[in-house]
Amino acid sequence: MRTIAGAFYGFQMGYNVEGATHNSGTATLRFSNEFAQGGIGFGCGATVSVTVRLEEGVLSFSLRNGITTSWRNLISLTGSITIDLIEILILLISKLASQPALEKLTEVREVAGSGAIWGLFSANTSRGLTSGSSLSFRPSINASVNILELIPKVGPVVKKAKKAGIKLKAGPTLVISFPVTIRIVRLTTEDGNYNVSGSSSGTFNFNGGPVGTLAAPTVNSVQITHSHTIGLSFGLEIRASLTFLKLLKLSGVLVIPFFQELTNVKGTLGPFFTALSDSNTVASELPEVVWG
C-alpha cells in the first residue's frame, strides 16, 4: 500500500503594461487585461496493489531423484485501487450537514498520484489594477444547515420530495474567506529603481528614480515588484434553493452585512513580495522589506 498526503497554497497573475520613464526621476505605467487566481489545496490518498497468482503443480520422475514436485505459473494478475481519503471524509460530513464547498482541483490532480487534490480556488472578478490600486481574489469555504429538515411538519415533506428528485434547501450559511490582495510597490529598469507615488484608474505614477539624462532612449529591462497579503473574514448569508432532477435549479441569497463587520479579522499575513520581470519570474517571501 502506498499513501500520499500534502498541502500547498499559491497564486498566479499576469497583465499587460506600457509606460515611460523620465529624466526627472519619475515614471508612468498603465495596466490592462490583468488576472489573478489561486488558493489552497490538500490531498490524502492511498493506493492498494493486489497480485493474484494461479500456479500448477507438476510431478516428475527420474531414476536418480525419484518423484519430485515443481510449480509453474498459469495466471498472474496485478491490480490496484485508489482510495481518496478526503472524499470519504467529505461524504461522512455531508451526512451530518451540507457538503463543504470544496472542489477537486483538476489542474494539479496528477501531482498526487493517490487520490485527488481538494481545495479552495478563486479568481479576480473585477479589473483591480485597471480601475484602482490593487488586485484581489477571495478563496472561500461555506458551511450551511438545511433548517427545513429540522422543522417537524416540513421535514417529512422535504424528505419525500427528495425521493421524487426535488431538493429543497433553506437556512443560514457561514462563509469563511481568505482574501488575497496584490499591490504594486516598485519599478526597476536598467536605469534604477522607482517607488509608487500614487495611482488612478489603471495609471500608476512612480518617483525616486535617477535624475538626469537616462542611459538609453528606450527601456529594455523591466521588473515590477508586488506585495500581497492574506486576510481572514467571516460572512453570514441566508440561502434557499430548489433543484429538480439536477436539470433545473433556482436559488437566492440574502447577505447579512453587519455580521461581516463584527467578525472581520483585521490581522493579515504578510506583506510578502514577488518580482515579475520581462525575462523570468523571481518570487520571495519576506515579511518586511526596507527599500534602499
**142: β partners:** 175
Please provide the average confidence, as pLDDT, over all residues in the chain: 76
Q: Which of 38-52, 92-106, 236-250 has the highest mean pLDDT?
A: 236-250
Q: Which of 171-185, 205-219, 263-277 comes out lowest in average pLDDT?
A: 263-277
> Mapping DSSP to helix (H, G, I), strand (E, B) and coil, where does residue 235 land?
strand
Q: What is the mean pLDDT of residues 261-285?
A: 65
Q: What is the mean pLDDT of residues 250-273?
A: 72
- 223: nearest Cα among 280, 276, 282, 285: 276
CA 29 to chain centre: 29
Q: Which of 64-68, 141-145, 200-204, 274-278 comes out lowest in average pLDDT?
A: 64-68
Residue type, 238: I
Backbone angles phi, psi at 156, to 5 degrees: -60, -35
What pLDDT score does 250 carry?
85
Buried/exposed code over 58-81 (b: 16+ C-beta within 10 A; e: otherwise):
eeeeeeeeeeeeeeeeeeeeeeee
The Cα 34–Cα 224 span in angstroms is: 14
> In terms of residues, how long is the chain?
292
- 124: nearest Cα among 140, 108, 137: 137
The Cα 87–Cα 82 span in angstroms is: 12
- 213: nearest Cα among 23, 9, 85, 68: 23
> pLDDT for 73-83, tens place per residue?
777 777 777 77
Q: What is the mean pLDDT of residues 128-132?
A: 81
> pLDDT for 182-221, tens place per residue?
889 999 988 889 999 988 877 899 999 888 877 666 677 8
Report which secondary-structure segment, H or E, holds 85.
helix 85-96
Question: Could you identify the residue written with the cell 411538519?
Answer: 153
- At 112, is the pLDDT very low, low, confident or very high (cuts 50, 70, 90)? very low
What pLDDT score does 195 carry?
92
What pLDDT score does 282 carry?
47
